[in-house]
Amino acid sequence: MSELLILLPALTIGLLMMLIHVPLGQEVLRRGIIFIDLTLAQLAAMGAIFASMLELGSFFSQAAALLCAFLGGIFFKTMEKHFKEIAEAVIGCTFVLSATLVVLVLSGNPHGAENINDILSGQLLFASWQNVAFAGTVFLSATVLVYTKPELFLKKYFYIVLACVITTSVQICGVYLVFASLIFPAVATSYMTDEHKRRLTEYAGESFGFIIGLIVSYYFDLPAGPAIVWGISLMMPVCLIMKVKQNN
C-alpha cells in the first residue's frame, strides 16, 4: 500500500483539475464547440514544444504555451461571434494544422516521437509536489472564480479561463486526458435536468474513473493518460445507472 504513495501527486493534480474541468466541459457542450478544448490543448502543447526547442527555460515554455492558447481563444471567440455556423469546422481545421506542424517540426528531432507521445499522453505519473502547487493554484483559483461569478468567468471571459486552465493541465496530463475529462462527463450527463445532481454525478464518475485508471497504469506499466481516459469512460455509465436506480 505504501508504494501507492508515489501516485499521490498525480492523484492530487487529477482531482483538482476535475473541479474546474466539469463546469468548463458543460459550457463547452452548451456552446456546441466540442473540439475547442482539444484544439486549445494542442496549441498550448505546440507553444511549449517550440519554446523548449529553443532552450528558453521552463518559464518561457509556460509563457509560450499560454500565449498560443490565449491567442487561439481570442480567435475562436471571434469566430463564434461572427461566423458561428462554421466555428466548429474552423476549430477542427486549427487542430489538424497545429498537430501536423508539430509533427513536421519534430520530424528531424531524434526525440521527436517521444515528444509527440508526451503531448498526447502526458507525464502524469512523473508529477511532483511542485507541479501540484503550481497546477493546483491555477485550478482552485479558476474554480472559485467560475462558481462565485459564473456569469462573468463562465460566460463573458470563458475563453480566457479555458485557455489558462488547459495550458496548465495539458503539459502534465496530455491532450487525450484533457479532452476526455472535459467532454466525457458532460456528454454522459447531458440528459439530466437537475444541475446540482448532474455535477455531483460528473464529479463522482470522473473521480472514480481517474483513480482506477491511475492505479491500472501504475501496476501494468501503461501510459497514465490513455488508461485514465478509459477509466473515466467506463465509470461514467456506472454512475449514471446508479443515479437512475436511486431516483426510481
Within the chain, what is the greatest distance between any pair of CA atoms? Answer: 59
Could you read off the pLDDT of 190-217 as tens digits, one per residue?
A: 888 888 888 998 999 999 999 999 999 9
Per-residue pLDDT of the chain (248 residues), as tens digits, is: 555 678 999 999 999 999 999 999 999 999 888 888 889 988 988 888 888 777 777 778 888 888 999 999 899 988 888 888 888 889 989 999 998 998 888 887 777 778 888 888 888 988 999 999 999 999 999 999 999 999 999 998 999 999 999 989 988 898 899 999 999 999 888 888 888 888 998 999 999 999 999 999 999 999 999 999 999 999 877 766 766 666 65
Alpha-carbon gap, residue 210 to 239, rounded angstroms: 13
For residue 20, the tally of other CB atoms under 10 A from its CB is 27
- Return the residue matching grid coordinates 502526458: 122
pLDDT for the residue numbered 242: 65
Residue 86 pLDDT: 87
Q: What is the model's pLDDT at position 246?
A: 61
The domain that contains 12 carries what CATH number? Answer: 1.10.3470.10
pLDDT score, position 49 = 84
At 83, list the grid cell.
Answer: 461566423
Range of the domain at 241: 2-247
Distance CA 7, CA 4 (A): 5
Closest C-alpha to 202, from 217, 218, 191:
191
What is the pTM assigned to this prediction?
Answer: 0.88
Quick one: pLDDT at residue 206? 92
| pLDDT at 1 (0 to 100) | 52
How far apart CA 95 and CA 164 sit, in angstroms, is 18
Give pLDDT, residue 247: 62
Say how many domains are in the chain. Answer: 1
